[in-house]
Amino acid sequence: MNLNHPTTYIKGVSVARAELLYSELGIKTCRDLLHLFPFRYVDKTQFYTINQLQQNSSEVQIVGKITGIKNVKQKRGSRLVATFTDATGSMELVWFKGAKWIKDNLKVNVPYVIYGKLNWYNRTASMPHPEMETVQVYKSKLQMAMQPVYPSTEKLTNKGISNKVIGNMIQYLFKQVFGSIEETLPTYLLNEHQLIAKREALLNIHFPKNQELLTKAQFRLKFEELFFIQLQLLQKKLIRKSKIKGFVFEKVGENFTSFYNNNLPFDLTNAQKKVLKEIRKDLGSGAHMNRLLQGDVGSGKTIVALLTMLLAIDNGFQATIMAPTEILAIQHYNGIVELLENTTIKVDLLTGSSKVKKRREIHAGLEDGSLHILIGTHAILEDKVQFKNLGIAIIDEQHRFGVAQRSKLWNKGRKEENEEIVPPHILVMTATPIPRTLAMSVYGDLDISVIDELPPGRKEIKTIHRYDSNRLGVFKFLKDEITKGRQVYVVYPLIQESEAMDYKDLMDGYESISREFPSPKYQISIVHGQMKPADKDYEMNRFVNGETQIMVATTVIEVGVNVPNASVMVIESAERFGLSQLHQLRGRVGRGADQSYCILLSSYKLSSDGKTRLKTMVDTTDGFKIAEVDLKLRGPGNIMGTQQSGVLNLKIADVIKDSPILYKARQTAINLLQEDPALSQPKNSGLLKIYTQLQKKTGIWSNIS
């Protein structure tokens, strides 16, 4: 028997059980079962005598004998009661289900080990449905002081695959394969990090003799899991830098210099200059750039993107920006056209709503090279869109695009004479700061740049939390701000499951605001997901042009609307939003020179997570701190969005709690690859073998980030 065999090779696993294990827990082979790790342990180090039991509902373990069994009638049916005795006293064991089968199998006056939760009635202890086995059977098993508790589902439990059954399967498996479990890490790494052997680690993760061995087993397995992820990410980065050619942007020409000296609307911050330097170094290296640009809302990523595109144009290349929504693409377009208005650079916009005639113009301009910058949505990925010489592709809000979409951009590069595509340089921008541990785990193959300061003159947004009962005070504050000539957003949550409910909430809110802010004195815009795009744009434009003072909306405005005159963001039912959403929404204000405010309205009923989210928003405007809290609350999968959630399918490690192990694993992988990039040294032959197997399994380790 080996670990690649299906689980049906294990005693007691029928075809039906094997199918159930696969559909419920994804377990197909013996190896999968061996790597189903317990998520907690029940401490069975202590045995109690009956006279030591305290009057509480704790779980205890006792050795004794059954001295009598009886059926006791109750309102519905009957219950089975056994008297259980040791040298110090007696108690009752009780069964409400399966009485006949249990009665037939119980042995009187034979020593048993029982385990379960205590119940007390009239100062007498009882234990309903105890786990029990004879002392003889107990002694024949792998002894566990710490009893493992495995992940399970209701379906498995209902079909009789209990925690005990899973434990027994793994015990049987261990007896068959223990000797053939191979070591996966080289001896020098085991010694360097004082790691126990793989088979010892697996044995002690399932059947720990004590807490110390359990800790060693967990450390070993977590380190290994994180180490192999880092090894793959770093190796991928090495391959990209050494094997994948990139266009060389040798010169800083007239477009860049003239714009930098004459058209920059403000001086660059030191952070922007530092990031630009990193990008220029990449673009001149001859290797392909794959860089993640993180910057908080309003930190000036767009200017950095534009300067990067001007470098490409100065070197005879075209550039493109791809945004996830039409609104955001239009905003990028308007902003960049305004910045370039005194230049000869041609910019165009391509979205799903572009007319056929316009598309033809764009296609022709791209193919003959007269169109320098194309800004758009997914429409850019269509096969018809062919560039003459695409040098750089900038992707905004990367977590909204899947890998397949990014690979299409990659293929829009220039074909060389040998038919090899030279891909455009890739710059990925995100305004959702990614905590360092997560960036290392998911984007470990990208070079990362961070803009960590806001442009001068930006005032920090004041964030206030108010309960629904303070609504009238909030309305009065809004009237004062509107009197000063400012504009206001009022945002309602969007909960996909119930579009009807969202719409009702929005309409109820709109009516109450209309009553409080009557026309003609006040003008209100409304925008929601069920409107036609043309109507949505009409309402948006009225607000942008200052014709309306209040914009009532669902979260369609989360990314990208730029209205410098809007100084207040009111978020209704703020407890129903995630942290990163709240932070993104807050970033819609504070874009002008005036003091801006974000008011979080919530009900009094708040979960502890809800309280943490709102308190975090009030306490800080630092996107990285907010992302750290968000990561702790939601876990990595959810932060990355659905396309990315499978990326970190970790079996035992946790990138948040185990960040010290993650740093150690990454550094180890860096040192190893510096010394032996191809893993060709004899001492790394085992690593090479596993690395090759992993590459076959994983779909995400392609060249496209």
Tokens of 224: 């290994």
Each residue's pLDDT tens digit, 267-297: 899 999 999 999 999 999 988 898 989 887 7
Coil, helix or strand for 281?
helix
pLDDT range class, residue 130, cuts 50, 70, 90: very high
> What per-residue string of b and e applies to 475-504 under the rule 16 or more CB within 10 Å gives b?
eebbeebbeeebbbbbbbbbeeeeeeebbe
Q: Strand ranges (DSSP E) for 538-674?
A: 550-553, 566-571, 597-602
CA 30 to chain centre: 29
* pLDDT score of 636: 61
Each residue's pLDDT tens digit, 185-204: 999 999 999 999 999 999 99
Residue 69 has pLDDT above 60, yes or no: yes
**What is the share, in percent, of the chain residues with pLDDT greater than 90?**
50
Choose the most confident range, by mean pLDDT, from 326-330, 476-480, 591-595: 476-480
CA–CA separation, 99 vs 97, rounded Å? Answer: 5
* pLDDT score of 181: 92
Element (H, E) at 40: strand 40-43
Each residue's pLDDT tens digit, 604-621: 989 999 999 999 999 998
Count of CA atoms in the C-beta half-sphere (13 A) of 675: 10
Tokens of 685: 């032959």
CB atoms within 10 A of CB 546: 13
pLDDT, average across residues 298-303: 86
Query: Can you give the C-alpha Rg of the chain in angstroms?
Result: 32
Question: Which of 1-10, 317-326, 344-353, 432-441 has the weakest average pLDDT?
Answer: 432-441
Please name each of the domains of the chain with its CATH number.
45-143 (2.40.50.140), 254-283+300-430 (3.40.50.300), 462-620 (3.40.50.300)
Residue 37 has pLDDT above 80, yes or no: yes
CB atoms within 10 A of CB 386: 11
How far, CA to CA in Å, does 293 sit from each of 114, 272, 296, 431, 588? Answer: 59, 10, 10, 9, 20
Each residue's pLDDT tens digit, 146-167: 789 899 998 998 898 998 899 9
Give the global pTM. 0.69
* 28: exposed, middle or buried (Cβ count in 10 Å: 0-12, 13-18, 19+): middle
Place of tokens 């809007």: 566
- What single DSSP character describes residue 498? G
* pLDDT score of 29: 93
What contacts 425, CB < 8 A, 6 or more positions away? 246, 247, 282, 283, 288, 289, 290, 312, 391, 392, 393
